[in-house]
Chain A
Amino acid sequence: MKNETILTIDQVHAALTSGATTATALAEEHYARIAADDSPESTGKGINSFLALSRDRALEQAAKVDVAAVKGDTLPALAGVPVGIKDVLAMRGSVATAGSKILKGYRPPYDATSVAKLEAAGAVLLGKLNCDEFAMGSSNENSAYGAVKNPRALDRVPGGSSGGSAAAVAAGFSVATLGTDTGGSIRQPAAFCGVVGLLPTYGRVSRYGLIAFASSLDRVGPVTNTVKDAATVLSVLAGKDELDATSSDRPVDDYVGALAKPVEGLRVGVPAEYFGEGLDPEIKAAVERVIAQLKGVGCTIHPVSLAHTRYAVPTYYVIATAEASSNLSRFDGVRFGLRAEESKTLSAMYRKTRDEGFGAEVKRRILLGTYALSAGYYDAYYRKAQQVRALLTRDFLTAFEDLDVIVGPMTPTPPFKLGEKTDDPMAMYLGDIYSVAASLAGICGLSVPCGTTKDGLPIGVQIMGKHFAESTVLRVGAAVEAAQTS
């Protein structure tokens, strides 16, 4: 299923260096594809991945890259690479809606560090990408600006919350995109759309300029077509940022260089808890095939127990909603975005603004989080969940004493139909079973495509690694990827 519209970063680099194309032409080609197949009003597929295009900024950057290419300058890692940015990250002068009506019209006067780093490395910023409102959702159906269609199956969801980020890469609208992951929001849509999604270790990539959802969980990372592209983008993003106190000053590894090392001898853990009831049999078979392939290239396979896995979803939905209820209190109609008209008092203005501005899922999570933090319930819910979070993290720390990576399914089911779960939040939350544990533990993870169901729906395998072991995770990811195409 090769598609000539899908380019890797290496191909962009080669084409620009040889003069086969220009960054300007490349940007225009991607904008033309977006015009044809993205807008819901277009006669094409109507994917709806982009919420806003930053044409002037993109073409200005492309022109700079083209001048450098003509002069024969050494081009930076992402020179001329068309990228899209999830709309929860600030991009100077462009909208930043977070998929919410409450931020309608808001244009931040600064760039998120991750956005600035991409541009400094030569990337061409095409625009802002659709997502679930405030990154809360697993299907992108919670966006106030319409659902996104899965480019691999137009009647299906692209996953969420970075649904636009995954769909734009899968559809060939963008070579790479930035997503954010709080409980699976990069990895799950990557799996659903048949592309690569990387969750960096907590602290590896700056969150400055990210509209906060749950601060102890939120992370920024790339969605790409290939594992090598994910490594290249991470090399640009990773590192200490003075503007984010939670970013780590640990030296950044050579992620691309690490891919050349063989995976022979790496110890791969397979957690029984990730293969139990509720796992789609075709996904199970695909992931077992990956494990056999890894064994075939010299990895050793070890059963491992992550005993608290079944408590990950309830733990996550207490902690994430509690933090969200606090973070989202800043949206009150005073400093930015929407303000409800005709409020006589300040408190009425807050309430009306938040009622008009927030969608149902965001309200549900704010209520749940507020409840979990309220007097009389704090110990029973929030504190309890923080304790279980410690147990879940210990599971991983213990397992990684003897293992290099842990491999399992990314999602229990293939992408589901648009509208299928919108009226049942519990059913939606249960789909996060394999993604939230890595989020809670702060470890890194990668979703790599590993085939399709008999109906042609993408399947993703998840590779988890210990804190700051992105090099190892990417190395194993590259081996998995090579095994699929050979």
Chain B
Amino acid sequence: MSETSVAAAEVSADEVLRVAELANLELTAEEIPRMQRDLNAVLGYIAQLNELDTTGVPAMAQVGEMLGANEDFAGAALRADAVRPSVDRAAVMASAPESDGRFFKVPKVIER
């Protein structure tokens, strides 16, 4: 298992824009250099995790995984798969910026 080094990481302005695109964020011209500065500061700090040899250490995604023997975390009691009332559609649709009462309306996706 190879460990990728993060020590040398230095995020460029182009990379900030690429990540912003992945995250569906539109950054203004003023925001880009500030985000670049902050990301590099934080990533530089995070790089200290490389000091640790984690070969063979399992990745922990949830608290319960570390306590496999503990049924309190095991989700043993899943609820019954039964039909039950959900929140009223009219109440949900009332929160939408634009709706016809049945569907959410959004700008055109496909031109034809």
Q: Interface of A with B (CB < 8 Å)?
A: 106-110, 202-203, 216, 240, 242, 245-246, 248-250, 308, 310-311, 313-315, 317-318, 325, 329, 332-339, 343-352, 354-355, 358, 360, 363-364, 366-368, 370-371, 374, 376-377, 379-381, 383-391, 393-394, 397, 425-426, 429, 441-442, 467-468
How distant is A341 from chain B, measured CB to nearest CB, in Å? Answer: 10
Beta-carbon contacts of B37-57 to A below 8 Å, as 1s and 0s? Answer: 011011101101110101001
In the complex, the answer to whether A352 meets B97 with C-beta atoms within 8 Å is no
The answer, among A334, A352, A355, A358, for a CB contact under 8 Å with B96, is: A334
Taking CB atoms, residues of chain A closer than 8 Å to B31 are 360, 363
Taking CB atoms, residues of chain B closer than 8 Å to A468 are 72
Of B45, B75, B107, which is in contact with the most chain A CB atoms at under 10 Å from its CB? Answer: B107
- In the bound complex, CA of A53 to CA of B27 (Å): 34
In the complex, the answer to whether B54 meets A345 with C-beta atoms within 8 Å is no
Chain A interface, >50% SS class: helix
Check B61 for interface membership: any CB of A closer than 8 A: yes
Of A250, A318, A360, A368, which is in contact with the most chain B CB atoms at under 10 Å from its CB? Answer: A368
Check B83 for interface membership: any CB of A closer than 8 A: no
In the complex, the answer to whether A334 meets B104 with C-beta atoms within 8 Å is yes
Taking CB atoms, residues of chain A closer than 8 Å to B28 are 355
B22, closest chain A residue (CB)? A370
Task: Please count the residue pairs between chain A and chain B whose beta carbons lie under 8 angstroms apart in the complex.
Answer: 192
Q: Given A314-B45, A351-B24, are A203 and B73 neighbors across the interface (CB < 8 Å)?
A: yes
Taking CB atoms, residues of chain B closer than 8 Å to A360 are 31, 34
In the complex, the answer to whether A203 meets B64 with C-beta atoms within 8 Å is yes
Q: Given A240-B77, A383-B59, A390-B59, are A336 and B45 neighbors across the interface (CB < 8 Å)?
A: no
In the complex, the answer to whether A386 meets B107 with C-beta atoms within 8 Å is no
Taking CB atoms, residues of chain B closer than 8 Å to A349 are 106-107
How distant is A416 from chain B, measured CB to nearest CB, in Å? Answer: 19
Given contacts A425-B38, A467-B70, 11 further A-B contacts (CB under 8 A): A110-B87, A203-B73, A329-B24, A336-B95, A367-B20, A368-B39, A371-B43, A384-B49, A388-B57, A394-B66, A467-B67
- In the bound complex, CA of A94 to CA of B109 (Å): 33
In the complex, the answer to whether B23 meets A216 with C-beta atoms within 8 Å is no
Q: List 6 A-B contacts (CB under 8 A).
A: A110-B87, A245-B79, A311-B52, A370-B22, A377-B4, A391-B54
- In the bound complex, CA of A397 to CA of B70 (Å): 12
In the complex, the answer to whether B45 meets A386 with C-beta atoms within 8 Å is no
